[in-house]
Structure 1
């Protein structure tokens, strides 16, 4: 390889590295701005009450994330809500708790829950694209700011979904 070709290759590589760095910096900036906008829209999440009754139902699995409702493509990045983690989903008389590994627990007050259902493509990386053949348990709930959010949970044992769906019907009958 002659010196002219070597110099040209090094210049091309340097320009390419600068372009990649700029693109990554712009992506990070966009994610930060999105998280700030969402934090303002969502407001404060409900705090976990000091005293919570015994869990009436508990399921192990994976917290998938939260989406702004009804925008299926608006993944919530505010706080630590955008990170998947192993978790335990439990129903209490006062509400639903998602205890996540290495993240803050999510508390959903009973009166905030709009519906509990299963979805096949919620939180997937594209409209209608099925990531896993097993459905996702989806909890739609309203925040104090008035915004609605869908929270997704993949259970380790999908047969437990029927208990959650039946329990939703029982809570609606009581209310």
Structure 2
């Protein structure tokens, strides 16, 4: 009998915690509902070669690594590849909508230790792209599968930014 009460109590606590998280996520989506839809992926990029394999972590408000963007699936973590093209950056995500960032909206790139949803032990474990969308500055985090790809990816994005300016 005590075991059944303990189990029921534990399940109730878990259900309340889940409900609280769901309510918080929906509130965040309501607060961010005014963010314009994302640019469509250009049809020419549909046949672009695969990029660097890794994990799309999340998009946050720039400078606030814990303020995850919940609308337009920007807060959904997923396995992805990141292709750097002349047109911009294309995150091809599995299980979530692809994210395209036009080259003229990319304002910076850096490596960092963390972004909402992921903190790494190494100080340069994530590639963080800063970009402008709908008058807001955003940071998007990506963790390459192979550590050696971090420098190459950062360099190609830096070159893309320099080529447009």
Mapped contact 2:38–2:72 kept (Cα < 8 A): no
Mapped contact 2:65–2:116 kept (Cα < 8 A): yes
Structure 1-normalised TM-score?
Answer: 0.77
Corresponding position: 1:35 with 2:25: no
Matches within 5 A, 1:3-14: none
Residue 45 of structure 2: SS of its match in structure 1?
coil
**Structure 1: segments with no counterpart, 5+ residues:** 1-5
1:155 corresponds to: 144
For residues 47 and 90 of structure 2, the distance between their equivalents in structure 1, rounded to whole angstroms, comes to: 11
Q: Deviations over 1:146-173 (max 9, x none)?
A: 1111111110112122222222332343
Change (3 A) 1:154 1:114: same
Q: Deviations over 1:70-107 (max 9, x none)?
A: 21210122232222111110011111100001111000
Mapped contact 1:66–1:152 kept (Cα < 8 A): yes
Please point out which of 118, 142, 149 is paired with 2:111. Answer: 118
Change (3 A) 1:172 1:14: closer
Please point out which of 154, 159, 164 is paired with 1:170. Answer: 159
For residues 69 and 63 of structure 2, the distance between their equivalents in structure 1, rounded to whole angstroms, comes to: 12
CA RMSD after TM alignment: 2.8
Corresponding position: 1:137 with 2:127: yes
Mapped contact 1:65–1:76 kept (Cα < 8 A): yes
Mapped contact 2:57–2:115 kept (Cα < 8 A): no
Radius of gyration: which is bigger? 1
For residues 65 and 169 of structure 1, the distance between their equivalents in structure 2, rounded to whole angstroms, comes to: 20
Equivalences, count: 162
Change (3 A) 1:47 1:120: same
**Structure 2: segments with no counterpart, 5+ residues:** none
For residues 55 and 81 of structure 1, the distance between their equivalents in structure 2, rounded to whole angstroms, comes to: 22
2:102 corresponds to: 109
For residues 117 and 97 of structure 2, the distance between their equivalents in structure 1, rounded to whole angstroms, comes to: 23
For residues 78 and 116 of structure 1, the distance between their equivalents in structure 2, rounded to whole angstroms, comes to: 22
Give 1:142 deviation, angstroms. 0.5
Q: Deviations over 1:2-21 (max 9, x none)?
A: xxxx69x95x9877766654
